[in-house]
Amino acid sequence: MDYERLGKFIKKKRKEKGWTQEEFANITGLSRQTLSKIESGVVARITIIHMETILRHLGYDICIVPHNIFEKEEPFMCKEDLEWEEY
C-alpha cells in the first residue's frame, strides 16, 4: 500500500471539507498527532477500522482488492480508482 499517496488523499479531502487536523481528529476519535502522521504517510500501522472511520467521514468507503505482488498481472480496479489515480 502506498501510505504517502493515501495520506495526501486524506489531507486533500479533509481540507475540502474545511476541517483542521484538530477538528477532524475529534470527529474521527484519533489524536491530532496520529492524523498528522497518517496524512504525511509515516504511519503504516493503522487498523482497517480506523481507516474506515476516516474515509467514511470524508464520504468514501474502503475497497479491498487482493493483488499478488509477486506476479506481473494488473490488480482489479474499484470504480473509485478513477479519482484515486490522481494521487
Q: Domains along the chain?
A: 3-61 (1.10.260.40)
pLDDT-based confidence at residue 59 (cuts at 50, 70, 90): very high
- Please state, for a pLDDT cut of 90, what percent of the chain lies above it: 53
8-28 pLDDT per residue, tens: 999 999 999 999 999 999 999
Buried residues in 36-64 as b, exposed as e (16+ CB within 10 A): bbbbebebeeeeeebeeebbeebebeeee
Where residue 35 falls among pLDDT bands split at 50, 70, 90? very high
What pLDDT is attached to residue 46? 82
Please give the grid coordinates belonging to residue 8.
495526501
Contact 55, 66 (CB under 8 A): no
pLDDT of the residue at 12: 96
Under the banding of pLDDT at 50, 70 and 90, the label for residue 3 is confident
